[in-house]
């Protein structure tokens, strides 16, 4: 019987430990509270951390500059971050917590279109503005939400620059293959690319969706090689990109153009693949090389340098988009002169800015319609922006060097 | 004799009092708590219902239905497809979700329930995976990997909170009530006999296959109902999130933690584990899942028979002590 | 078409190695070892770090990762698992789930969720045989997986300890009567299972991209293969692995890659219903009622 009591004691201690963790947070005055439930663990941990660091960078910078000016007062920004474990149910719960317990004024969105789809519904119900910085599947913005703003252009346009570059070659390739993991964002990018490719006169000879946790695409690539595709476009994430490159090399399948979405611009891609990454192209929302600038962050490369000094790695578009999301919110608040949701929303809709992230202006749906993806190629281990011609830094290597 | 009568009256009164307190405690939260806590408790209720549903298979029949979460997914997608594609009213869709999930189990059950122990467990995991892939590939109907958006609850925030709170509460009570009925019925005795000794039960005249299929159908139907409610509550579905085997294993652990084969044990287990992981996470931002793992290991090591066994032991101790005192007096 | 067969076979070799340890633990101890996923992951990370920090070739680091996971496996089994094994399959499953949570999240905290890969100079090179590409690395991994499976099979049939493990699998009580110390055999079996997972992990780190959750996908494959081949059957795991590899490969080019997993899991349920002891399995635990 002593044993039973002991066990209960263990249990009670465990419970007490948990309860102690639930200490209340006290509100401070003259603070703008912004909440973010992002993925710090689970499937999206990597991208979620990039997103969080982007938010954090803006918060620290704006606070160092004295905070946000609202009317004639200056407000410091307080960022509350929770880990949604890459799970929409948790993310929804935490977003509710941010709104109803922590009383945040604004929400910074989570990573991924799928999770944002779920959490933005909460913001919409409670009339709290969500600035979604890494969620751009078109479905999100077709629901008629009033309080959702996305800093990225729609995912459908992701591979447009690669296709445009291919179409503008002296001897353009003809046959295109597109593969995508089965995921909201990636499918949107792939469908967009398919339509645009056909519009530009390419023949889409292969289009496939594969399960998101696929570890082996060699048979898929063999089928694509047999279909004679000269252009291989892959949407999806870092792991997809690395898998496709490695297995294409193993099969000695050498498409003249290989284009990726998220993967190719993430430094890990080049670090891990080394010279196999040479000549690979990508559409990208932002890289430090693009040469945009604004008064707050300076030039994109200054931003990148400062960011690297703070966090120890080169920022990706996730981070830059998240920092710029904060900056846009700051502009809207300062112009509104109040923290009132409706007034800030009006100012967000009126924004027409050029930032270090590129031009930004939102349409009624909350989509950033001013910006578009740039096209780049990996040359000598560096990202070289090639498209649009206005910001081109070099010339395209075509066809891609053989493995 | 009169002493025993009065003590039985006192006991009854005590139970009535406990029941009243519980009822009041169950009804109050959505009126007084913030949106966040109502959501947390609603999800406790949801897990309570799921753990009760899986308990019918795990605790009573002794079948490790690891992939029971498949029926959650089926229920969720039934509601989503009916509401989005066919504009069906939520409650009708919810009913369909329960029925469809139950039918699915009944159909599979005749084949799969011939398997025992781990084999059955693995088969259910296979069913969960296969069903998830099928739903993903039927993208014209289900939205596939893109997911699907279920319409909002039409009322205001406060109303919505209440609605889902009481919906999940109702489903949990339904699950617990069903379990209670089963525990007292011929089905329950049959299942327990089956769990103890399959051949013996069949010799004793228990129609084993029929009992097992019925039990699984009920368990799946309840799980499907909860899945359907979840779809409307979250308003966004993606196959990996509703056919989530980790979630399935979690409900399973909850049932065991509380006490497999008991009526209220699974609910207790669900509440404890969910609340604990919700609270732990606030403290250990990056390490909460690790801490949860440690909690799981500790529970298995120290209370392998679940909470209910602790209470039973405790009750026995108290009783012995009391009778001991009586003897000392006399 | 030949390319599809080659791809399937090469993938199948890795699958087989992943499944052998899992199948062994299940067959001998009646433990469904969820933590197998973490052991694969840890093996992969050991090879990754030895390559990254000291330039060790991943094939050379396989013994190191096997030894490390052998020790870890032995500890887990003797410190926690053996205490609850008498409560049966359900409890041990929950326990290994907890262990898996701990290890996976510890890895996440220590090494972050970054995707990493090992790219030795020879990575990606392949041998062309009449238009069919055979990647060197994957071929080497395939051979090595075969060698390990055969060696392990010999260990079970030829050594005293191996025989004791087999005897325990067939009838723990009888084995105990003949003087076998069951708890030691269990710890040893579990440790060997972990070591085999580590070997598979090391090889996976050369072929695929790794991160703390890398083991999960392979764990679900191990489930299918174990059932396909039969619980605790070593040749069965080999056959099951290769069959699954081929089935996925063919499903990709015929019904489309989206359906390939539905095919394998459908296959799993079908085999269970038709031939629950698996293709080459004997009946250990459970079975048809």
Residue A254 forms contact with C (CB below 8 Å): no
Whether the Cβ atoms of residue C268 and residue B143 lie closer than 8 Å to each other: no
Residue B22 maps to a domain = no
CB contacts under 8 A, B 184-213 vs C, are 198, 208
pLDDT in tens, C187-197: 999 999 999 99
Residues contacting residue B329 through CB under 8 Å, at least 6 positions apart: none
**How do the domains of chain C map onto residue ranges?**
2-287
Secondary structure letter of residue A41 according to DSSP: S
C113 with A41: Cβ contact below 8 A: yes
Mutate to test the interface with C, among B121, B129, B135 (most CBs of C within 10 A): B129
Q: Do C117 and A210 touch (CB under 8 A)?
A: no
Cβ–Cβ gap C273/B114 under 8 Å: yes
CB distance B298–A18 less than 8 Å? no
Q: Which of B264, B265, B120, B285 is nearest to A38 (CA)?
A: B285
A106-110, B136-140, B263-267, C135-139: range with highest mean pLDDT: A106-110
Angle between helices B245-258 and B35-55 (to 10 degrees): 80
pLDDT band at B21 (very low <50, low <70, confident <90, very high): confident
Q: Containing H/E element for C222?
A: helix C214-229
Q: Could you tell me the two tokens for B175?
A: 């699950």
Question: Taking CB atoms and an 8 Å cutoff, what residues of chain A touch C258?
Answer: 182, 208-211
Interface check A64 vs B, CB under 8 A: no
Subunits that touch chain C (at least 3 Cβ pairs < 8 angstroms)?
Answer: A, B
The top-scoring range by mean pLDDT among B301-305, C197-201, C256-260 is C197-201
Distance, CA of B284 to chain centre: 27
Distance from CA of B269 to the nearest CA of A (A): 12
Which chain A residues touch B307 with a CB distance below 8 Å?
11
The secondary element (H helix, E strand) that includes residue C76 is helix C62-76
User: Model confidence over A117-131: pLDDT tens digits?
Assistant: 999 999 999 999 999
- Average pLDDT over chain A reads 90
CB-nearest partner of C289 from B114, B134, B249: B114
Q: Which of A210, A213, A219 sits opposite C7 (nearest CB)?
A: A219
Find the range with the poorest average confidence among A8-17, A232-241, B81-90: A8-17
Phi, psi of A49 (to 5 degrees): -65, -40
Encode chain B in three state secondary structure. CHHHHHHHHHHHHHHHHHHHHHHHHHHCHHHHCCHHHHHHHHHHHHHHHHHHHHHHHHHHHCCCCCCCHHHHHHHHHHHHHHHHHHCCCHHHHHHHHHHHHHHHHHHHHHHHCCEEHHHHHHHHHHHHHHHHHHHHHCHHHHCHHHCEECCCCCCCHHHHHHHHHHHHHHHHHHHHHHHHHHHHCHHHHHHHHHHHCHHHHHHCCCCHHHHHHHHHHHHHHHHHHHHHHHHHHHCEECHHHHCCHHHHHHHHHHHHHHCCCCCCHHHHHHHHHHHHHHHHHHHCCCCHHHHHHHHHHHHHHHCCCCHHHHHHHHHHHHHHHHHHHHHHHC
Residues 209-268 of A with CB under 8 A from B: 209, 211-212
In this structure, the number of other CB atoms found within 10 A of the CB of residue B19 comes to 10
3-state secondary structure B224-244: HHHHHHHHHHHCEECHHHHCC
* A&C contacts, CB < 8 Å: 105
Do residues B238 and B155 make contact, with C-beta atoms less than 8 angstroms apart? no
Identify the CATH number of the domain defined by range A157-284+373-391: 3.40.50.2300
C51 in contact with B, Cβ within 8 Å: no
Q: pLDDT, tens digit, for every residue of A325-340?
A: 999 999 999 999 999 9
pLDDT digits (tens, 9 = 90+) for B47-57: 999 999 999 99
Least confident of A394-398, B156-160, B277-281, C231-235: B277-281
B145 touches A at CB < 8 Å:
yes
* A233/C275: higher pLDDT: A233
Percent helix, strand, coil in chain C, to 5, is 75, 5, 20
d(CA A323, CA A134): 11
Residue percentage of chain B with pLDDT more than 70: 90
Question: Is C29's pLDDT higher than 80?
Answer: yes
The answer to whether residue B15 sits within a structural domain is no
- The residues that bridge with A75 in the sheet, in sequence order, are A68
Please report residues of C whose CB lies closer than 8 A to that of B130.
261-262, 265-266, 268-269
- Give the phi and the psi of residue C76 in degrees, each rounded to 5: -60, -45
Instruction: Please list every residue in chain C whose beta carbon sits closer than 8 Å to the beta carbon of residue A46.
Output: 112-115, 211
Q: What is the pLDDT confidence band of residue C70, given thresholds at 50, 70 and 90? A: very high
Whether residue A83 lies within 8 A of chain B, CB to CB, comes out as yes
Q: Which tokens belong to A346? A: 């009006």
Asked whether the beta carbons of residue C208 and residue A243 sit closer than 8 angstroms, the reply is yes
CATH topology match: A8-153+289-361 vs A157-284+373-391: yes
- Using a CB-CB cut-off of 8 Å, the residues of chain A touching B162 are none
Residues B242-258 have a mean pLDDT of 87
- Bridge partners (DSSP) of residue A74 are A69
Give the pLDDT confidence score for residue B310 in this predicted structure.
80
Determine the pLDDT at residue B205: 67
- Quickly tell me which residue has 């006290």 as its tokens: A26
Task: Choose between A144 and B122: higher pLDDT.
Answer: A144
Q: Residue A277 pLDDT > 70, yes or no? A: yes
Question: Do C115 and A268 make contact, defined as CB atoms within 8 angstroms?
Answer: yes
Does B320 score more than 70 pLDDT? yes
Which neighbouring-strand residues pair with B149?
Answer: B236
Segment 199-218 of chain A within 8 Å of chain B by CB: 209, 211-212
B290 interaction partners in chain C (CB closer than 8 Å): 101-102, 105-106, 109
B147 interfacial to chain A (CB closer than 8 Å): yes
| Binding-site residues on chain C for chain A (CB distance < 8 A) | 3-4, 7-8, 10-11, 105, 108, 112-117, 119, 123-124, 126, 128, 133, 135, 137-138, 207-209, 211, 213, 216-218, 248-250, 252-253, 256-258, 260-261
The angle, 0 to 180 degrees and rounded to 10, between the axes of the packed helices A317-336 and A45-64 is 40
Residue with the bigger pLDDT between C59 and B325: it is: C59
CATH code assigned at B290: 1.10.3470
- Where in the sequence is the domain holding B289, given as residue range(s)? 33-329
What are the structural domain ranges in chain A?
A: 8-153+289-361, 157-284+373-391
Q: What percent of chain B has pLDDT over 90?
A: 40
Mutation to test the A interface, candidates B30, B32, B33, B35, most A Cβ within 10 Å: B35
Q: What is the mean pLDDT of residues B173-195?
A: 90
Instruction: Determine contact: B144 vs chain A, CB below 8 A.
Output: yes
Q: CB of B294 within 8 A of CB of C102? A: yes
Measured between alpha carbons, how far is B237 from C158 in angstroms, rounded to an integer?
Answer: 54
With beta carbons under 8 A apart, name residues in chain B contacting C76: none
Chain C environment of B281 (Cβ under 8 Å): none
Q: How far is C232 from chain B (nearest CA, A)?
A: 13
Q: How far is CA C113 from CA A235, A308, C211, in A?
A: 20, 19, 6
Q: Which one of C4, C133, C216 has the shortest CB-CB distance to A250?
A: C133
Helix orientation angle between B157-184 and A113-126, rounded to the nearest 10 degrees: 110
Q: Are C91 and B304 in contact (CB < 8 Å)?
A: yes
Contact B122, C23 (CB under 8 A): no
Question: Minimal CA–CA distance to B165: which of B20, B18, B36?
Answer: B36
Whether C273 and B115 lie within 8 Å, measured CB to CB: yes
Residue of A nearest to C137 (CA): A250
DSSP for A174-214 reads -EEEEEEESSHHHHHHHHHHHHHHHHTT-EEEEEEEE-TT-
pLDDT of the residue at A205: 96
Q: d(Cα A171, Cα A165) in Å, to the nearest integer?
A: 11
Of C138, C106, C96, C117, give the one whose Cα is nearest residue C42. Answer: C106
Mean pLDDT on B188-215: 78
Topology (CATH) of A8-153+289-361: Rossmann fold (3.40.50)
Which region, left, alpha or beta, applies to residue C210 given φ > 0 means left and ψ of -120 to 50 means alpha? beta
Compute the average pLDDT of residues A297-319: 94
Query: Helices B117-137 and B90-112, interaxial angle, to 10°?
Result: 130
Of A215, A242, A273, the CB nearest to C217: A215
Reported ipTM exceeds the 0.85 cut: no
A8: contact with B, CB 8 A cutoff: yes
Q: Is residue B299 part of a domain?
A: yes
Chain B: residue nearest C90 by CA? Answer: B64
């Amino acid at each position: 019987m002593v044993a039973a009591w002991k066990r209960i004691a263990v249990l009670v201690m465990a419970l007490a430990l948990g309860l102690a963790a639930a200490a209340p947070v006290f509100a401070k005055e003259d603070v703008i509270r912004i909440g973010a439930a992002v993925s710090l663990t689970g499937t999206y941990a990597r991208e979620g951390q990039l997103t969080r660091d982007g938010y954090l960078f803006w918060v620290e910078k704006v606070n160092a500059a004295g905070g946000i000016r609202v009317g004639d007062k200056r407000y410091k920004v307080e960022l509350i971050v929770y880990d949604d474990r890459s799970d929409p149910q948790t993310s929804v719960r935490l977003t509710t917590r941010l709104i109803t317990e922590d009383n945040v004024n604004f929400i910074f969105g989570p990573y991924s279109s799928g999770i944002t789809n779920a959490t933005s519904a909460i913001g919409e119900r409670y009339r709290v503005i969500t600035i979604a910085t890494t969620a751009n599947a078109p479905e999100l913005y077709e629901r008629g939400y009033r309080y959702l703003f996305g800093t990225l252009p729609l995912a459908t346009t992701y591979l447009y620059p690669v296709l445009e570059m291919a179409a503008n070659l002296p001897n353009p390739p003809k046959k295109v293959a597109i593969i995508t993991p089965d995921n909201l964002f990636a499918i949107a990018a792939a469908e967009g690319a398919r339509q645009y490719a056909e519009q530009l006169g390419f023949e889409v000879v292969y289009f496939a969706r594969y399960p998101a946790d696929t570890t082996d695409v060699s048979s898929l690539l063999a089928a694509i090689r047999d279909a004679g595709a000269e252009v291989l476009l892959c949407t999806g994430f870092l792991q997809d990109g690395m898998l496709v490159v490695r297995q294409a090399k193993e099969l000695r399948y050498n498409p003249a153009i290989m284009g990726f979405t998220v993967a190719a611009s993430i430094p890990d891609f080049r670090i891990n693949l080394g010279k196999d990454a040479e000549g690979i192209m990508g559409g990208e929302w932002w890289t430090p090389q693009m040469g945009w600038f604004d008064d707050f962050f300076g030039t994109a490369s200054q931003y990148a340098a400062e960011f690297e000094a703070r966090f120890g790695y080169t920022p990706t578009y996730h981070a830059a988009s998240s920092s710029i999301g904060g900056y846009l919110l700051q502009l809207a608040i300062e112009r509104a002169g109040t923290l009132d949701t409706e007034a800030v929303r009006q100012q967000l809709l009126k924004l027409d800015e050029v930032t270090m992230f590129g031009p930004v202006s939102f349409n009624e749906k909350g989509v950033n319609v001013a910006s578009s993806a740039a096209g780049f190629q990996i040359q000598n281990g560096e990202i070289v922006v090639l498209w649009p011609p206005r910001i081109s830094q070099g010339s395209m290597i075509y066809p891609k060097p053989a493995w | 004799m009169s002493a025993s009568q009065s003590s039985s009256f006192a006991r009854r009164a005590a139970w009535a009092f406990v029941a009243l307190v519980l009822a009041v405690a169950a009804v109050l939260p959505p009126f007084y708590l913030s949106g966040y806590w109502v959501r947390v408790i609603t999800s406790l209720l949801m897990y309570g219902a799921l753990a009760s549903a899986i308990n019918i298979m795990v605790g009573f029949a002794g079948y490790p239905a690891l992939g029971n979460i498949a029926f959650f997914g089926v229920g969720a997608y039934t509601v989503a497809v009916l509401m989005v594609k066919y504009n069906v009213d939520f409650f009708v869709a919810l009913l369909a979700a329960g029925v469809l999930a139950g039918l699915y189990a009944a159909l599979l059950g005749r084949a799969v329930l011939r398997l025992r122990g781990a084999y059955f467990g693995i088969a259910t995991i296979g069913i969960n995976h296969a069903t998830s892939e099928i739903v993903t590939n039927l993208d014209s109907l289900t939205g596939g990997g893109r997911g699907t958006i279920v319409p909002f609850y039409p009322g205001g925030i406060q109303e919505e909170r209440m609605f889902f709170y009481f919906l999940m509460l109702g489903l949990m009570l339904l699950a617990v009530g069903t379990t209670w009925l089963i525990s007292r019925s011929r089905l329950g005795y049959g299942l327990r006999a089956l769990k103890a000794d399959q051949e013996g039960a069949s010799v004793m005249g228990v129609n084993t296959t029929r009992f097992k299929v019925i039990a699984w159908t009920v368990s799946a139907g309840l799980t499907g109902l909860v899945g359907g409610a979840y779809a409307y509550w979250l308003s966004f579905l993606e196959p990996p999130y509703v056919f989530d085997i980790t979630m399935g294993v979690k409900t399973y652990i909850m049932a065991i933690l509380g006490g497999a084969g008991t009526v209220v044990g699974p609910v207790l287990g669900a509440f404890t584990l969910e609340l604990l992981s919700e609270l732990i996470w606030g403290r250990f931002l990056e390490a909460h899942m690790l801490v949860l793992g440690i909690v799981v290991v500790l529970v298995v090591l120290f209370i392998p028979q679940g909470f209910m066994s602790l209470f039973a032991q405790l009750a026995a101790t108290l009783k012995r002590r009391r009778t001991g005192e009586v003897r000392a007096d006399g | 078409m030949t390319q599809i067969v080659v791809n399937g076979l090469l993938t199948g070799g890795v699958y087989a190695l992943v499944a052998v340890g899992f199948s062994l633990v299940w067959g001998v101890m009646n433990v469904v070892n969820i933590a197998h996923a973490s052991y694969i992951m840890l093996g992969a990370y050991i090879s990754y770090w030895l390559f990254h920090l000291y330039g060790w070739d991943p094939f050379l680091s396989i013994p190191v990762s096997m030894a490390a996971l052998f020790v870890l496996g032995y500890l887990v089994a003797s410190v926690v698992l053996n205490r609850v094994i008498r409560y049966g399959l359900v409890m041990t499953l929950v326990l290994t789930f907890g262990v898996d949570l701990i290890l996976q999240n510890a890895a996440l905290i220590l090494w972050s969720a970054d995707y990493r890969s090992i790219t030795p100079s020879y990575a990606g090179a392949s041998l062309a045989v009449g238009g069919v590409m055979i990647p060197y690395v994957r071929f080497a991994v395939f051979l090595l997986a075969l060698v390990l499976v055969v060696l392990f099979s010999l260990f079970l049939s030829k050594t005293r300890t191996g025989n004791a493990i087999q005897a325990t699998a067939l009838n723990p009580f009888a084995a105990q009567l003949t003087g076998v110390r069951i708890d030691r055999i269990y710890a040893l079996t579990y440790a060997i299972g972990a070591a085999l997972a580590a070997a598979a992990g090391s090889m996976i780190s050369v072929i695929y991209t790794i991160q703390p959750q890398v083991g999960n996908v392979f764990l679900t494959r191990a489930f299918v293969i174990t059932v396909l081949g039969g619980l605790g059957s070593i040749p069965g795991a080999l056959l099951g692995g290769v069959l699954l590899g081929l089935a996925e490969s063919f499903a990709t080019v015929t019904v489309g890659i989206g359906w390939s997993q539905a095919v394998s899991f459908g296959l799993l349920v079908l085999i269970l219903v038709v031939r629950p002891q698996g293709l080459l399995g004997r009946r250990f635990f459970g079975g048809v009622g």
